Each structure stands twice: as structure tokens, then as C-alpha cells.
Amino acid sequence: MHVGLVHYLTLGAILFALGLFIVMSRRNAIVMLMGVELILNSAALNFVAFGRYGAADLSGQLMTIFIIVLAAAEAAVALAIVLAIFRNFQTVHVEQVDRLRH
């Protein structure tokens, strides 16, 4: 069986839907960040698939490298914010942290 573009796009759509479900349904900030990472990875997978099967250039791979760098920076900043919230409120649940100062 040959793995084609449709297989990659289906996997990307599944990853995107799973990440969107996690972001919309969970209230834990760390799990929400993991959902955002899934969404970014699905976009990166689609860029690589279109770069491989669509255009014969490296634009998809370059965009994927940019997404990986963006995801690393986002994870570092977001985890720093989550640690600051945990120090102030002793929780990482989003619904319990509804004010800026306590």
C-alpha cells in the first residue's frame, strides 16, 4: 500500500480535531498547551505533505521549521506564565484563576 497525500491530510485533520477538542474541553492550563502543540504539529504535517506532493520545493519544510521554533518559544513563555500562576494561586486550573491579583 502506498502512503499518499490523502493519508497525511487525514492524519493532520485528526490531530487538529483532537487538539481543538483538548483546548476547548480541558480546564488545566498545561493540558491546554499540549492541545495547542497538537494543532501546530498538524499544521506542520500538512505543510510537509503539501511540500512533498504538491510543489517540488522546500517551502513546506522551511515553514515547518518556523512552526517548530514558534512552538518552542510559545512553550517556554507559556510554561513560565503557568509557573507564575501556580506560585500565586496554587492551582493551574483555568476556571479557578479568574482574577489578576488575590
Residue 66 lies in a domain: yes
Residue 69 lies in a domain: yes
Residue 102 lies in a domain: no
Find the CATH number of the domain harbouring 46: 1.10.287.3510
Phi, psi of 99, rounded to the nearest 5 degrees: -135, 155
| Residue 38: predicted pLDDT | 93
Residue 73 lies in a domain: yes
| Residue 54: predicted pLDDT | 78
Residue 81 lies in a domain: yes
Residue 72 lies in a domain: yes
| Residue 57: predicted pLDDT | 77
Digit-by-digit pLDDT tens for the chain (102 residues) are 888 899 999 999 999 999 999 999 877 778 888 899 999 999 999 989 888 887 777 888 888 999 999 989 988 998 898 888 888 888 777 777 766 555
What's the predicted TM-score (pTM) here? 0.78
For the CA atoms of 91, 93, 98, 102, what is the dihedral angle to 10 degrees? 0
User: What secondary structure letter does DSSP report for 96?
Assistant: G
| Residue 102: predicted pLDDT | 54
Domain count, the chain: 1
Q: Which domain holds residue 77?
A: 5-96
Residue 59 lies in a domain: yes
